[in-house]
Amino acid sequence: MTTADITLDDTPRGGPRPASSGPRPASSGPRPASSGRRTAWLLLSPALAFFAVLFLMPLAVMLLFSLLTGNPLWDDTVTFTLENYTRMVQDTYYLEAVGSTVLLGLYVTGASLAIAYPLALQLARMRSAAWRSILMIAVLSPMMTGMVIRTFAWMTLLADQGVINRTLTGAGLIAEPLPLMYNTFGIVVAMTHIFVPFMVLTLVGVLGRIDDRLEQAAQSLGATRLRAFVEVTLPLSVPGILAGSLLVFALTISSYVTPTLMGGFAFVNLPILIYQQIASSFNPSFAAALGFALLVLSMSVIAAYWRVLSRVGRGGGT
């Protein structure tokens, strides 16, 4: 996206809006093209340099590594190969890791959305600024604590000898401890706890900008409160739902610490696999290939997101 796009998108509410809120060509701006564009590039250059050195270059190195048989720095017999990729596809162990990565992403995203949406709606509609601030602080306060600490907190709650299981066994309600940890369930619980604030923040931004009078108009036309919500607020909040989901999904599929701690060794996703390849198997080439698989996964999610978003922006309606 260019700067021209950003300023154009900023038209005031109710004013004439462009036909589509999806991506548009930069040339749609009415300003004189050449000098304005040169300034824009100039302003962008620090960001571009940063991006090139810290993102594109490592990526290129990683791509190179994933196509080599070994590390060229201390091994001079390395050759080009596709073996790292074929290994990933042929061995079901790795495919399963890809599958559980995606599944974990979907679970955590769904759970975060289910918890965050009602919260965000309440926050956005709160009339009293004081209460809104208090609730916002309550939602965001978990972010003040480190992720590892919060994960340990969940471990003390969910472990076989944790608070919940000890209480239940002590009360005689269950004989065997419930499997709350060292499985996908425990990971989803801990990660949802971590990502709900992200989702709330994203949703509040979008929900807060929806005019209350739209639902009121729907009600005056005969819709019940629920119907008015489904017909008006829900579709208008789709961009927020998508943005929040994208964020949480991307963060989840690339997370390492919480899945390791909460999953024990029963759970393997791509980041864990990559770490193992680097730290214990000393196979940076295969790790690089796995990293690329993760990247492709994220990219395809983003691409799908843009497709849906631009369709909504064009007014998919019913």
Query: Largest Cα–Cα distance in the chain?
Result: 77
Stretch that binds other proteins, among 165-173, 218-226, 240-248, 284-292 (CB under 8 A): 218-226
Cα 197 to chain centroid distance, Å, stands at 12
- Contacts with other proteins in 116-175 (CB under 8 A)? none
Q: ∠16-18-20 over CA atoms, to 5°?
A: 140
- Give 10's strand partners: none
CB-hemisphere CA count at 13 Å for 300? 7
Position 222 contacts other proteins (CB under 8 A)? yes
- Using CB under 8 A, which of 33, 43, 95, 221 touches other proteins? 221
Position 178 contacts other proteins (CB under 8 A)? no
Position 218 contacts other proteins (CB under 8 A)? yes
Position 216 contacts other proteins (CB under 8 A)? yes
Position 102 contacts other proteins (CB under 8 A)? no
- Going by the DSSP 8-state scheme, the letter that residue 232 receives in this structure is I
Q: Name the minimum Å distance from CB 28 to other proteins.
A: 15
**Which residues make Cβ contacts (< 8 Å) with residue 278, sequence separation at least 6?**
284, 287
- Using CB under 8 A, which of 72, 235, 243, 275 touches other proteins? 235
| 101-121 per-residue burial string, b: 16 or more CB within 10 A, e: under 16 | bbebbebbbebbbebbbebbb
Dihedral pair phi/psi, residue 239, rounded to 5°:
-60, -40
Shorter beta-carbon distance to other proteins: residue 167 or 220: 220
> 100, 113, 245: which is closest to 183 by C-alpha?
100
Q: How many residues bind other proteins (CB under 8 A)?
A: 29
Position 225 contacts other proteins (CB under 8 A)? yes
Amino acid, single-letter form, for residue 60: A
- Give 171's strand partners: none
Position 8 contacts other proteins (CB under 8 A)? no
- Contacts with other proteins in 13-32 (CB under 8 A)? 14, 16-19
Amino acid, single-letter form, for residue 219: Q
Q: Name the minimum Å distance from CB 136 to other proteins.
A: 22
Based on its alpha-carbon atoms, the radius of gyration of the chain, rounded to whole angstroms, reads: 24
Cα 252 to Cα 255: distance, rounded to the nearest angstrom: 5
Torsion over CA: 164, 167, 172, 173 (sign): negative
Cα 147 to Cα 159: distance, rounded to the nearest angstrom: 18
Stretch that binds other proteins, among 178-186, 227-235, 265-273, 285-293 (CB under 8 A): 227-235
Crossing angle of helices 184-208 and 147-158, in 10° steps, is 130
Q: Name the minimum Å distance from CB 216 to other proteins.
A: 5
Q: Name the minimum Å distance from CB 214 to other proteins.
A: 6
**Token pair for 234:** 């829900």
- Using CB under 8 A, which of 140, 153, 178, 236 touches other proteins? 236
Shorter beta-carbon distance to other proteins: residue 166 or 314: 314
Position 214 contacts other proteins (CB under 8 A)? yes
Stretch that binds other proteins, among 12-20, 48-56, 262-270, 272-280 (CB under 8 A): 12-20
Position 253 contacts other proteins (CB under 8 A)? no
- Using CB under 8 A, which of 72, 152, 231, 251 touches other proteins? 231
For other proteins, the binding residues (CB under 8 A) are 14, 16-19, 211, 213-214, 216-225, 227-228, 231-232, 235-236, 312, 315-318
